[in-house]
Amino acid sequence: MQQTSAPATSASWDTNYEWKIILLLSLTFGLVGLDRFVLPIILQSPNSTMGADLGLTPQDGGTLAGYLGMAWGVSAFVMGYLADKVGRRAILVPAILVFSLMSAFSGLAGSVTALIIVRVIMGIAEGPVASTGVAVAVEASKPERRGLNNGIFQCMISLFGLALAPVIATRLLNSYDWSVVFMLVGAPGVIVAAIMWFVVREPLKRADTGHGGSGVPFRSMFGHRNAKVAPLTLICAMGGIFVIAALLTAYLTAPLGAGLGLDPVVAGNVFSAVGIGGCIGQFAMPAISDIIGRKLSTLVSYALAAVSLILFTQTGPENTTVLWTLLFFASLFNFAALAILAGPVAAEAAPPGMLASMAGFVIFAGEFVGGGISPIIAGGIAGGEYGLKGALYFAASGLVLGFIVALFLQETAPRKTGGL
């Protein structure tokens, strides 16, 4: 039986469903992160034969990440629009099932071409989890908890994908072939898809929930200033994140001069700062933005992320504690900007009936350019005259540009605009 949810007053708000669906969305997005980010870890691990078996280099990890990101971006927009038309469950549940299967099929790829096809399909399936997931989270959340809940939901991609994935992958590679590791990390998503089918609710009243898109002209989606500004600045946030995710391991372990020459185990410890910092940033800053505003939170995040990443590039291998700390803050504030822009800023710019569409459009721009094209450009920089450090400079310059664009954001937090 299809469940629906009607708009609720403060006294009658279904808090039980709110926390139940946020927990399930969080686990789902965590698995998205695990399945997405585990590839460069497996590819670059000394215990993996994936590179030799398929003829891949560490720089190819950036290219593969780029293809997946572009597919993710297009799909987030298209499937988010469909979710406004046909419902959340019909889009979200099959998407979870397909991306989980594609993670497992990555282990069966016998050639570079086959792997590219599998990862592109995986990106197509993961896109709707982002855009439709934001819509489901917003619809389930009381307005004053909108940033907090989106932060909880989105931070799991960092925790699972960038903090736990290196630990899980390296441990599994001690006992299993790389192909088996892909299959093992893809399996839990099949179970989550089945549970999601019975839990997620469809909004009842379209105009009040931002669901359905009935009678709403497509061009009306671009009426709010943030519908134009947020995608542009999100490109910069995602560019920073995905360049770091794709090439950081190579930079940490490359011989001194080309990189930092760290032992793989030490490099893994330093890399964990990305996941831990990102998780905290995606959770804490959207919640803080509920109080101090979306614009100020975004500007502070961009500024501190850029400064931290630039200082990281100037630090040598002799003090890994400093490296970890700088990388922690660079990731915390970089992911914070992403979470604010892709979650509450996108949702609050949406006209009635186009919540998932707006989230999808903002994510599309960020993913296609920032998550797709940027890692490919950075991979080219890494393989050229400026090397791996040049790729990190490229990411840092994008964060500076993101700050400049974010100056044009319009404040939309309910506490700041009198919407509560």
Q: Which residue has the higher pLDDT, 343 or 398?
A: 398
pLDDT, the chain, mean: 87
pLDDT digit string, tens, across residues 124-144: 999 999 889 888 988 888 888
Q: What is the pLDDT of residue 216?
A: 62
Q: What is the pLDDT of residue 6?
A: 45
Beta-sheet pairing, 4-5 with 202-203: parallel
Helical H runs in 159-263? 165-173, 178-199, 206-209, 225-253
**pLDDT (mean) for 255-263:** 90
Domain edges within the chain: 16-209+216-417
| Rounded Cα gap, residues 204 and 198, in angstroms | 17
Q: What is the pLDDT of residue 267?
A: 87
pLDDT digit string, tens, across residues 378-389: 988 988 889 999
**pLDDT (mean) for 243-262:** 88
Q: What is the pLDDT of residue 79?
A: 92
| Rounded Cα gap, residues 171 and 173, in angstroms | 5
**pLDDT (mean) for 187-216:** 72
The share of the chain scoring above pLDDT 90, in percent, equals: 47
Residue written as tokens 């185990």? 265
pLDDT digit string, tens, across residues 224-246: 999 999 999 999 999 999 898 88
For domain 16-209+216-417, the CATH architecture is: Up-down Bundle (1.20)
Q: What are phi and psi of 413, to 5 degrees?
A: -60, 130
Contact 413, 290 (CB under 8 A): yes
| Rounded Cα gap, residues 238 and 366, in angstroms | 6
**Chain centre distance of CA 397:** 20
Q: What is the pLDDT of residue 162?
A: 82
The single-letter code of the amino acid at 365 is A
> Does residue 303 register a pLDDT over 80?
yes
Longest CA pairwise span in the chain (Å): 62
**Which of 236, 244, 253 has the alpha carbon at shortest distance from 298?**
236
| Rounded Cα gap, residues 25 and 192, in angstroms | 9
Q: What is the pLDDT of residue 179?
A: 93
| Rounded Cα gap, residues 362 and 235, in angstroms | 9
| Rounded Cα gap, residues 420 and 417, in angstroms | 8
Q: Could you tell me the pLDDT band of residue 412, with boundaries at 50, 70 and 90?
A: very high
Q: What is the pLDDT of residue 388?
A: 92
Q: What is the pLDDT of residue 209?
A: 43
Three-state DSSP class for residue 356? helix
